Amino acid sequence: MSRRVTVQGRNNTLSGVGVAATQFDIRRSGNGSLTKQFTFPLSDAANVIKVSVVSSISDVPSAEWDACAVDAAGGADKFNPFLCHAFLSTLERSASAVRETGWTPHHIVARDQATHSILAVVPLYLKTHSYGEFVFDHSWANAYHSYGYKYYPKLQSCVPFTPVTGPRILLRNTSFKDQIFDILVSAMKDLTATSQLSSLHVTFPSENEWQKLTQKGFLPRIGMQYHWKNRNYKSFDDFLMDMKQSKRKNIRQERKKISAQNLIMKRLRGYEIKARHWDSFYTFYRNTTDNKWGTPHLTREFFHELGSKMGDNLLLVVAEEGDGLVAGALNLIGGDTLFGRLWGCQPKTYFPSLHFEACYYQAIEAAIELNLKTVEAGAQGEHKIQRGYLPVTTFSCHYLIDEEFREAIQDFLIREASQVKLVMKVLHESGPFKEGIV
């Protein structure tokens, strides 16, 4: 019996060409983990590419994973810390993104069958829910369930709990990387179909990937974040001079409140971040999650291990009152971008303007000091605009097996995109900068 499917959802902004596999099998790897394998010939080379699905990033040598991540990002000067082996393995080792939390790793690895060298990797997860993604598809799941169909599990290519744009199909810079891209897309589609899953989602990919995946049958979706751009500023005051007088005055008043409350701000990096800082920050993080989301996605062990593995790429902003820490904001440092990720403060405390200082103004000062081009301040929050962070487009794309659901969701996404574009236009027109500064 045919059905007419409709999909409705709250707009969260406002409140190809396939390559056929010649072999497919499922086997146990040496460590007992389940491995799915595809084998593909390259049409313009003697190489044969073997594509495997591994159940842990620990099955992939860190140097080879990172080589793929660096090449995919465009070089070390555009390094994306969230795509490196250290970050993703910390999510797994700390029991933050594992099967028990609804994130079963299904990472894709493409090897040259002759040399065994890794030519591409894809961070991929089998998910049993839609939490920790920042691209909202709960209404899609509800629509599936209302018609008696299963939406979960689904496949998701992303960085767990991290709404940061970056490449998702991480390719070494070879002469046949475009072919390997096609092969991996085909392999992921095949994996979705043969595993009898509802869908495959690629969230926060680069715009270039988003366009290519759209050409290969994925449904395109856009969203919005707020980023700060460094216009060759030499100081924070230099940045303020680009703002309208009223906005400049407001920021200065907010910053004065910090010293008036006897708070001292510090920016800590690398060896400066001690175990006690991570313990305090975990308390702050739990206070935020308990009040806002209800479920902490990251464990205490995650922060300690991240500090030991990636200290030089971390910037922890802390607020001190006397001898104690009262708040903190965690940032990661990329090749040309500072990524603001998490914030929290002591339970049952409130310091006016401290959130703005720790998350936005300290990040701007750090970016100027480190000569970084951009500060990405995380998802949502129109209050960021008046503090110098303007709307930018984010991307995701979605491959749905069922044709009728696909058509309904496509219609929803077209309408949603029109709303997002309109909101972005209005917000840009009411921005905090002087005329002519974009």
Dump pLDDT digits (tens) for 228-277: 999 999 999 999 999 999 999 999 999 999 999 999 999 999 999 999 99
Q: Find how far residue 322's CA is from the centre of its chain.
A: 36
Give the pairing type, strands 337-345 and 374-379: parallel
DSSP reduced 3-state for 103: strand
| Assigned token pair, 13 | 């902004």
All CATH 3.40.630.30 domain ranges in the chain, comma separated: 23-224+394-429, 231-372
Burial of 26: CB neighbours in 10 Å, binned 0-12, 13-18, 19+: exposed
pLDDT reported for residue 37: 61
- Write down the pLDDT at residue 21: 32
In terms of pLDDT, which residue wins out, 71 or 4?
71
pLDDT at 431 over 50: yes
**Higher-confidence position of 188 and 44:** 188
48 or 29, which is more confident: 48
pLDDT surpasses 60 at 14: no
Banded model confidence at residue 284, pLDDT cuts 50, 70, 90: very high
pLDDT at 41: 67
Q: For 327-386, what is each residue's pLDDT tens digit?
A: 999 999 999 999 999 999 999 999 999 999 999 999 999 999 999 999 999 888 899 999
C-alpha dihedral (355, 356, 362, 368), degrees to nearest 10: 150
Task: Look at residue 20 and tell me whether its pLDDT is greater than 90.
Answer: no
Lowest mean pLDDT among 38-42, 290-294, 368-372, 395-399: 38-42
Q: pLDDT band for 437, please (50, 70, 90 cuts).
A: confident
Q: Look-up: residue for tokens 């949603």?
A: 416
pLDDT given for residue 381 in this prediction: 86
CA distances to 211, 245, 432 from 199, rounded to whole Å, are: 19, 49, 41
Q: Flag whether pLDDT at 15 surpasses 60.
A: no
Report pLDDT for 379. Answer: 80
Q: Where does 35-110 have alpha helices with state H?
A: 62-73, 85-93
**Residues 371-389: pLDDT tens digits?**
999 999 988 889 999 999 9
Kindly state the percentage of the chain with pLDDT values over 70. 89
* pLDDT in the model for residue 332: 98
pLDDT number for residue 38: 60
Give the pTM. 0.91
Spacing of C-alpha 32 from chain mean position: 30
Q: What is the pLDDT of residue 295?
A: 83
pLDDT of residue 23: 35
Query: Is residue 196 predicted with pLDDT exceeding 50?
Result: yes
In this predicted structure, the answer to whether residue 5 has a pLDDT above a threshold of 70 is no
23-224+394-429 CATH: 3.40.630.30
pLDDT digits (tens, 9 = 90+) for 73-105: 999 999 999 999 999 999 999 999 999 999 999
User: pLDDT above 90 covers what percent of the chain?
Assistant: 84
pLDDT at 294: 72
pLDDT number for residue 48: 87
- Between CA 137 and CA 221 the distance in angstroms is 11
CATH 3.40.50.720 correct for 231-372 = no
Closest C-alpha among 432, 431, 411 to residue 4:
411
The residue ranking higher by pLDDT, 49 or 251, is 251
Where is average pLDDT lowest: 34-38, 166-170, 190-194, 378-382?
A: 34-38
Q: What is the pLDDT of residue 50?
A: 92
